[in-house]
Copies of this chain bind each other. A is one copy, B any other.
Amino acid sequence: MTIETQGGQRTEQAHKLVAASISQDLGFLLAKLHAVGSVLNNRALAEFDLKERSYSVLILANSGLEPTQRELADFLSLDPSQIVALVDELEKRGLVARAPGKQDRRAKTVTATAKGGKLLQRASDAARRAEAEVLEGLPAEESAQLKALLRKALWGAGLST
Residue of B nearest to A144 (CB): B24
Secondary structure at the A interface, as helix, strand, loop or mixed, is helix
In the bound complex, CA of A69 to CA of B127 (Å): 33
Write the nearest CB–CB distance from A85 to chain B, whole angstroms: 15
> Closest approach, in angstroms, between the C-beta of A138 and any C-beta of chain B?
5
A131 within 8 A of partner (CB):
yes
Is the beta-carbon distance between B37 and A27 smaller than 8 angstroms? yes
Residues of B within 8 A of A78 (CB): 2
Interface residues of A (CB under 8 A from B): 1-3, 12, 14-38, 41, 52, 56, 59-60, 63, 65, 67, 71-80, 127, 130-131, 134-135, 137-138, 142-143, 145-147, 149-159
